[in-house]
Amino acid sequence: MDYLPLFFDLKGQSCLLVGGGDVAQRKALLLERAGAIITVVSPEINAELAVLVESSGGELIRGDYQSGLLDNKVLVVAATDNPVVNQQVHQDATGNNLPVNVVDSPELCTFIFPAIVDRSPLMVAVSSGGKSPVLARLLRARLETLIPAYYGQLSEMAGRFRGKVKAKFKTIRQRRAFWEQMFQGPIAEKMISGNPRSAELMMEQALSDEVSDEPAVGEVYLVGAGPGDPELLTFKALRLMQQADVVLYDRLVSPEIVDLCRRDSDRIYVGKERSNHAVPQEDINELLARLALEGKRVLRLKGGDPFIFGRGGEELETLAAQGVPFQVVPGITAASACSSYSGIPLTHRDYAQSVKFITGQLKNRTSDLNWPELVHPNQTIVFYMGLHRLQHICTQMIAHGKPEETPVALVQAGSTPQQKVLIGTLETINEKLKETPLSPPTLTIVGEVVNLHEKLAWFNEAVKSDNHALMTAEE
């Protein structure tokens, strides 16, 4: 973190703005909206800036900057095209322990102006630490479309009722649950529809209802986190991640995705590797139920999709048996992600009219599969958790009639910057794996569609280069 995001209360505070052009005017607009009293100093001051400053009770000084102008100021902005003046303002301000911003000179700034989404009193600030202001503005533009204008009114109303809510609900958990229900329920809908009076009446009614001393049963959110790329999360997954009290997450959930969960949530790692389970599955099932019965909102975050070899069904059976409510949010499964990000369509009219997802590890730790069914032509077979049994898989497929030259792709860490793709055939892939070792999570794709990899690979130029090197070595 290059800068600590803070919000200044500048109402009635004296600020110095050095510069009199268009850039200075833009900074003056922000300062004026924050309620600051602005002193502008510059040999020349444009007319619009002058009107803005005088109408807001500020002071205009047509002349050169002097260090004495810093007296009794709480914040300084330099917006000139003179590097000598900018350097002097920075030196004088830091010498007086005053926060200073020199426009377009991050090295001379002790604070920076973020790109702002203004839904006062709700404010969202986006910053690149001065490294890419244009990117920050583009992100702000996207946020502008996602944050409705009524959020400001909703925030104002919440402020008016905050004291009453605190008096009624004695615990932080109760207050948080009330506010989340208010912000996402019919009260917010009234505000959206332009009926703030009805929204306030509904708030009053909600606060007059009796509060039970018994803790309510919580809920479990079984959420698919996808293959690793945070941008592949669904909107619903992200919303539930932001409101859960406790997060139980797997080994295959990337740190970037875990970081998107609510900051103050309790996080419990329950990842499993082959022959190394941090928490046995039965204990995970019971832990989910116990936490929810304590009244907590519990996020069960699983890599990929929770219902595709994710044992999500086993967990929900336990919850259903104990009367715990739950929701399920699908995620992008590894087969879809790895195939898409490696340029291998799972189906294609010329090569495969069906696809099968197979686990390479059964409950009894065998791979006793229906091999005759898996060697039919014109289909794609995707093996999950099959890397350690790759030799067995290839041997069995060949033994049951699949041609030795059938293409095979191994995709490690699909959709992430660490993605690697190894291409071979049922006959050659094991030797290639010895030459270029991969590690779990690695998906195995078998079928003619693998031939499209070289033509359709698109993800990550560095990955493409690595793959090209691998294919060159193959040739």
pLDDT tens readout for residues 1-52:
788 888 999 999 999 999 999 999 999 999 999 999 999 999 999 999 999 9
Distance (Å, whole) CA 291 – CA 141? 40
Taking alpha carbons only, the member of 410, 393, 411 closest to residue 402 is: 393
Distance (Å, whole) CA 27 – CA 42? 14
pLDDT confidence of residue 216? 63
Distance (Å, whole) CA 27 – CA 112? 11
- pTM of the entire structure? 0.62
Catalytic hit among 118, 168, 266, 272: 272
Stretches where the chain sits below pLDDT 50 are 461-475
From its phi and psi, is residue 139 left (phi > 0), alpha (psi between -120 and 50) or beta?
Answer: alpha
* Opening angle at CA 399, ends 397 and 402, nearest 5: 50
pLDDT confidence of residue 146? 76
Distance (Å, whole) CA 98 – CA 101? 10
22 is catalytic: no
pLDDT confidence of residue 275? 54
pLDDT confidence of residue 461? 46
Q: Where do we find the tokens 């600590």? A: 4
Catalytic hit among 250, 296, 402, 432: 250
Q: What is the pLDDT of residues 257-286, one digit of tens each?
A: 999 998 889 999 998 765 555 688 999 999
pLDDT confidence of residue 171? 87
In three-state form (DSSP H/G/I as H, E/B as E, the rest C), the secondary structure along the chain is: CCCCCCCCCCCCCEEEEECCCHHHHHHHHHHHHCCCEEEEEECCCCHHHHHHHHHCCCEEEECCCCHHHHCCCCEEEECCCCHHHHHHHHHHHHHCCCCEEECCCHHHCCCCCCEEEEECCEEEEECCCCCCHHHHHHHHHHHHHHCCCHHHHHHHHHHHHHHHHHHHCCCHHHHHHHHHHHHHCHHHHHHHCCCHHHHHHHHHHHHHCCCCCCCCCCEEEEEECECCCHHHCCHHHHHHHHHCCEEEECCCCCHHHHCCCCCCCEEEECCEECCEECCCHHHHHHHHHHHHHCCCEEEEEECECCCCCCCHHHHHHHHHHCCCCEEEECCCCHHHHHHHHCCCCCCECCCECEEEEEECCCCCCCCCCCHHHHCCCCEEEEEECCHHHHHHHHHHHHHCCCCCCCEEEEEECCCCCCCEEEEEECCCHHHHHHHCCCCCCEEEEECHHHHHHHHHCCCCHHHHHHHHHHHHHHC
71 is catalytic: no
Say if strands 276-277 and 379-384 run parallel, antiparallel, or are unpaired: unpaired
pLDDT confidence of residue 15? 97
pLDDT confidence of residue 364? 52
Taking alpha carbons only, the member of 403, 252, 421, 439 closest to residue 344 is: 421
pLDDT confidence of residue 362? 58
Please name each of the domains of the chain with its CATH number.
14-113 (3.40.50.720), 150-208 (1.10.8), 219-332 (3.40.1010.10), 336-474 (3.30.950.10)
Distance (Å, whole) CA 312 – CA 191? 38
pLDDT confidence of residue 273? 63
